[in-house]
Structure 1
Amino acid sequence: MTESNIDDDSVMGNTDNATAAGNDLKNQSSGLSENRKEDELLASSIRKKLPQQSSSLECSCIFKIPHILRRGNENVFVPNLVSIGPYHHGHEDLKAMEEIKQWYLHCLLERRGNQEASMMDFVKGIRSMEKYCRDCYGEKVNLSSDDFVEIMVVDGCFIIELFRKYITDVTAGKSAKVFPERDDPVFNTSWMIATLLYDLLLLENQIPWRVLGCLIKLTRENDETEETSLSQLTLKYFENYTLGRYPKKIEETGSKHLLDFIRRCLLGGRKEESNNIHPNSDWAPIPCVTELLQAGVKFDVPKIACST
């Protein structure tokens, strides 16, 4: 083989190597490009799943009870008679009460005279705060705007009318215009009032306090006194539950829903401390075992006599 042939072979070999190397680079570049495209698609997909607005968790105050707390106690956390709000709306066991809720709304409208205008005021008032109301629920409420607003209006008016009728019933109608009808099943059935009281204090069975505040303003008579304010009506209805131990005046603005209002009443209107123990309290937390041992406390295993 001549020297010229050797040089040609060497050149061809180098060319082949260069071509192979170039192909490897192309393949690597192509692979990197495909990976980059996949990464971009994934990143875009994740971004689309993120909320477009600031989190509404700070407004959330009406939650479903976690499953771990429901174990063996399911019936403790669900209403027995009436659904209030969206969580239990439409449940078969609670449908009978829907007719009574609608009847209460009818009574309220009939008393006001211009039913169409009044209903329009209710819908407009609640529709204007729909986003706030939805944000109050810890879980997404999969209802149309109309369905959601309807639940707020019907349930809110039912609660207000119930409170007003109850006050009239227990005060023998003194200075009141709202009377329970003779055939009203709520007041003619001994167990209904107690059951309703229980249902209205369930966390999952709440509507925002602001809804009740809006509706009571829209339904208030010109000559109504402070005794028929939302806070006073609520306190009177739950008087037996709170044992009458509540401040004479309590701010309505800080309440989130009925249950929260009653909780604040039971606390006596005090500001909550970050610590569980009030600084002026005579109570002190029990030290842990390590601290007790260091203080010289001795522990003995109790001797249990075996029965024969």
Structure 2
Amino acid sequence: MMLDEKANLGGKVAALLGGGGGIGAAATLGLARMGVDIAVLDKDGAALQATKAEVEAMGRRCFAFEGDVLSTDDVRDFYAAIGTEFDRLDIVVNVAGGVNQRDFLTGTDEQDAEDIRRNFGYVIQSIRLAVPLIERGGHGRGGSIINFTTIEAYRGAASFSVYAGAKAANANLRRALAVEFGRRRIRINEVTPDTTPSQGNANALLPELAATMVDTPPHVLEAAMAMYIPRGVSATPDDLADTVVFLASDLSRAITGVNIHVDGGTSAAMGFINWPGGGYCPAPLGEALKLLFPNN
């Protein structure tokens, strides 16, 4: 197909950190479908092996490494293994991240350090180790580095403050390295989801909030998403994976230093919600207030 030829992904090699399950697995499989061989690191061994089997069923090579991005040794060993297992590296996708919701003042130094490492620190290490492998195939062939962040990096995410700050740091890292790596022909871009359903997003919520979500009827959750998301439905893991494939491919060869919000329009809305009975407004008014507070 002409589009596949323009994408020019066949035979390339991608490293995905956090690519074993959930959104990461969707990105891994999306690249494999385009003819990319895979190296993947994930702390969930069962998910890792399941994804490896799917990649290999497509006829692509998959090196699976069980490890945690919190460990500098694991990340270093992963890249050392890539250097042995493959003769090239073209694409890096830093998917891993996560947090547990909590008020800022209740956090500990240890929790803060973990949030920063899991959502920003390992990205620095990953990129620094990846570039020599990308350039091993010859200076100028270049490559594509894709970092995942979150909409919380772009708004005042109360009860996710350190996480949001760590994710926001990726934005200026992305811009700075896009300039610094430009002559190396290494592009660096960012994918930013919002409400995409994933186990990681569910795990981030306070236990009492997560418990209420379990008991909420699906049609009520769908109605809530229709209020919040201008497009009316959440972006799926496959929507995010398609964006990764685009940024990894030659279809985006002139794009570097940018952030793509894959969120159905929530970042554009900046808090404007389509309230039932009230229409678009940052806060509920009119009939929406009566629906929310029927006894007042």
- Is TM > 0.5 for Structure 1 vs Structure 2? no
Question: TM-score, length-normalised on structure 1?
Answer: 0.25
Give the structure with the larger helix fraction: 1
Question: TM-score, length-normalised on structure 2?
Answer: 0.25
